[in-house]
Structure 1
């Protein structure tokens, strides 16, 4: 089936999301490695992505790990520096698809409060036809329920969806449901895929 709609992940597809890089810059790689070995910050973030209160989760982990409390609180206080910058070429592709009248959706693991902050920093997040945000839904990728919820809400068959995500497990889950998929590594390769599938011309995909 030809592609009828495009589904974007957000983190590492439209916005860089590399917390380790932020901490390497701020506290140095050696201290970052020690902190991430002592504190499971990604597990903390997963709880936020499921809908837990962002500030409360960060504060609870900071209190539980006093040796790293200042650094852990940066996950809240300096979050917009962690979730940056925008991937400009991917943003252009999103807008090019809209101009070409291709329906575009977002499906992303994202907290309720963090997404509210991201919307203020990145206005293009308001440009999707619909957005499926894990914290708001109480479901996360790659669990089947979140894909089922998307399928139940939109008017396209799973086989007509093209989904771009940077994580193989999320891609595999979508593919198992019949979605067409693209493992995102660079915006240039994503552009080539959109051209290959006839959604954009080469000029539109620049």
Structure 2
């Protein structure tokens, strides 16, 4: 029987601390990307953000328009408790596929790999609809296939390129040169401009 990857599933994972994907801090690829991004006024979405270390880092470094979206209330409540100065209105409990909005930048960090691969076409289409013209989807994908049943779900660069090019003709997907040590050699950095 296939596991339902719904709010109840993810809330249970957080409550039981079964969060092997969570490294406890913003990972290097996202941190270094944000460090060289000087347009602090951009509107940023981090979908499937979990404990949202990327949002904390961005917010503390001058990005005031950071929006955190998650299906489970548990990590959002923990994030608010740990980051009381973060605006309540920028913490969104909801389904990514039903979310409405327009963003300059969407950060991808362990969300794509947490979704059922059957939803990947829908994910790419939804990303396109949430980005403003000239906006970008940026982040990290697993560039390996896992032997276990996910999540996480992996994949290969060529498959991802074919998938993303349908909506992002100028997408770039390259091996990640600055992954954290446990993930070296297994990550790809994606940059998909909405041109």
User: What band does the TM-score fall into relative to the shorter chain?
Assistant: 0.3 to 0.5
Give the number of the structure with larger relative contact order, counting CA–CA contacts within 8 Å between residues 6 or more apart: 1
| TM-score normalised over the length of structure 1 | 0.38
| TM-score normalised over the length of structure 2 | 0.40
The structure whose residues are more often strand, as a share, is 2
Q: Flag the structure with larger Rg.
A: 1
The structure whose residues are more often helix, as a share, is 1
